[in-house]
Amino acid sequence: MKIALIGKYGEGDIITGPERVARELYSELKTSNNNIVFIDYFFNSYQHSPIIKKLFGRQTFSNDSSLIRLGILPLLFRLIKQQYDVIHIVNSQRLLLFVYAIKIFINSKFIATLHGLHNIEVKTKNSWNYGYLIDSWIEKNVIKKSNQLIFPSSILFKIFNQYYKIDQKRVAIIPNGISKIFVERKNSFPSIRNKIKCVFYNGFDGSIDRGLSELFVLVKLANIKIELFIIGETDSHIQSSENIEVIFVRIKNPLELIEFLCDKHVVVKSNTLDSFSIFTAECMALGLIPIVSYNTGIMEFIKNGVNGFVYDNSSSNHLSQVINDISDGKFDLDVISNNAKKIYETLNWMNITEKYFEAYQKLL
């Protein structure tokens, strides 16, 4: 089976969740299928990406001959010439405008992984904004023209379905995976003395509202002293108070992140929609106890009081009550932490890639 993965591969060790999915899926597919290529593009965020390269550029990598970066014209020419069995859009980008335009010229089956709904994720929407209109139009075309659509959680699919009324026969729910590196370090759950250490992921920038302000209000209701480590985007409105110390932390590469998380107790999520949360899954694999809302896709893998907690977002004090119960010793945290680690048995990339390969086979 000839497979072409298309999307943003990213540069360096610090990358976004969708880029992480792209890399891990590609790496795992290569172990069992040599007839695969990952086609990256000269994105604006990459160094040395002038307009001439965006149109005609070609870049190969000495350490991986199956990973290439192409401008628009070489990309389209390669897809027409190679006639891949499956073209998989691993993370949606604007260049898909051109990729889907040649669909009538090739026999390839198109599959797309959708990580979020543009209409909800964009923090500031302006119906007259050119970029917003283009992204919305591309999203509609991805839904319409793909032979199969992949969603990381049923929560995200249900929301997409409200907007687009998608035929469920074209849909597969495949969660994101956890990198093996997050289970290689063995450590015990750190004891809680006079304060609980919570971590919250706030993303690379403020383009997506991750609900930090609302979460902060709820966390402050807890009776115990809390250290809240906010990873990523800073917010001057979030400041330490009597019972909560706020610590902003830069985004780290995986090895740095593992070292940083080793003495933390819980990972918390806000009530804001999150299609899956790879970060939460990685924290669980390290033994952190997740406290998430029903709007987080990974809640489908969490059992209350067993391997984490899912709080009721309709109750203003349920999150703080969970934190209080944890600090008051109402749960065996060592057991819950060990159960949380077991999520890797389900969400390792070998298992996830098998699900993707099954989706490819069904198209042929």
Q: Does residue 313 share a domain with residue 189?
A: yes
Q: What is the pLDDT of residues 322-351, one digit of tens each?
A: 999 999 999 999 999 999 999 999 999 999
Q: What is the pLDDT of residues 123-137, one digit of tens each?
A: 444 445 666 777 788
CA distance 323 to 93: 39
Q: Does residue 284 share a domain with residue 297?
A: yes
Q: Does residue 52 share a domain with residue 143?
A: yes
* C-beta atoms surrounding 329 within 10 Å: 9
Q: Does residue 234 share a domain with residue 334?
A: yes
Q: What is the pLDDT of residues 204-213, one digit of tens each?
A: 887 788 999 9
CA distance 149 to 177: 17
Cβ pair 336, 306 in contact under 8 A? yes
Cβ pair 123, 130 in contact under 8 A? no
Per DSSP, 169 falls in state G
- Position 125 scores a pLDDT of 46
CATH number at residue 354: 3.40.50.2000
Q: Does residue 191 share a domain with residue 282?
A: yes
Across residues 63-72, what is the average pLDDT? 94
Supply the range of the domain harboring residue 12. 3-177+348-363
Q: Does residue 128 share a domain with residue 143?
A: yes
CA distance 344 to 192: 25
Q: Does residue 79 share a domain with residue 212?
A: no
Q: Does residue 171 share a domain with residue 200?
A: no
Q: Tell me how many domains the chain contains.
A: 2
Residues 6+ away with beta carbon under 8 Å from 278 = 17, 20, 21, 176, 178
Q: What is the pLDDT of residues 142-170, one digit of tens each?
A: 899 899 999 999 999 999 999 999 999 99
How many Å separate Cα 62 from the centre of its chain?
Answer: 28
Q: Does residue 186 share a domain with residue 96?
A: no
- Position 129 scores a pLDDT of 65
Q: Does residue 152 share a domain with residue 35?
A: yes
Within 13 A of 211's CA, how many CA atoms are on the CB side? 19
- Largest Cα–Cα separation, the chain: 65
CA distance 12 to 23: 12
Q: Does residue 356 share a domain with residue 275?
A: no
Q: Does residue 334 share a domain with residue 207?
A: yes
Token representation of residue 345: 């048995």
